[in-house]
């Protein structure tokens, strides 16, 4: 069971922005500091922008900034933007109308809830230097 490295890179980039909040930073700055390829990071930031987690300004002095205060952004949000909804198992087999009868299903449901609880319990402010 692993999260993708996309999630890791995305989280790092967002933490980087959280440290600059409310200022903006360019992709090349973030990419350099976090050692992510510029092109790869561009795509990740595009997803964050579409989900209104960051705002961008175009043109020469452009860049990205976090929209909300770091204390108002949960790690869970960041992860779900990158990885899609958190649910640790895609039901195997055909019709999962058996879902509530299915013993292993109970495990995945419970686990999914715990993971969400954990990830939504951590705010970006806890991961940066100055707490805002």
Residues 102-121 that bind DNA (CB under 7 A): none
Letters for 18-37 (x = contact with DNA by CB under 7 A, - = none) are --------xxx--------x
Tokens for 18?
């959280």
For position 5 contacting DNA by CB under 7 A, the verdict is yes
User: Distances from the Cα of 26 to the Cαs of 5, 55, 124, in angstroms?
Assistant: 21, 12, 20
Is the four-CA dihedral 50, 43, 22, 121 of positive or negative sign? Answer: positive
| 3-state secondary structure at position 91 | coil
User: Which of residues 29, 119, 120, 125 is near a copy of itself by CB under 8 A?
Assistant: 119
Q: Give the separation between CA 23 and CA 25, rounded to whole angstroms.
A: 7
For position 61 contacting DNA by CB under 7 A, the verdict is yes
**Interface residues toward a copy of itself, by CB under 8 A:** 1-5, 7-9, 11-12, 15, 35, 75, 79, 83, 86-90, 92-93, 103-104, 106-108, 110-111, 114-115, 117-119, 122, 127-128
């Amino acid at each position: 069971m692993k999260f993708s490295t996309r999630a890791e890179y995305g989280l790092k980039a967002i933490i980087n922005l959280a440290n600059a909040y409310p200022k903006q930073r360019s992709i090349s700055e973030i990419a350099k500091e976090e050692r992510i390829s510029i092109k790869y990071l561009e795509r990740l930031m595009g997803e964050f922008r579409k989900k209104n987690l960051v705002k961008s300004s175009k043109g020469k002095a452009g860049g990205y900034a976090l929209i909300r205060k770091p204390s108002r952004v949960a790690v869970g949000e960041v992860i779900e933007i990158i990885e899609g909804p958190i649910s640790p198992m895609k039901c195997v087999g055909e019709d999962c109308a058996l879902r509530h009868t299915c013993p292993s299903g109970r495990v995945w449901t419970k686990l999914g809830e715990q993971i969400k609880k954990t990830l939504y319990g951590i705010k970006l402010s806890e991961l940066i230097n100055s707490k805002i």
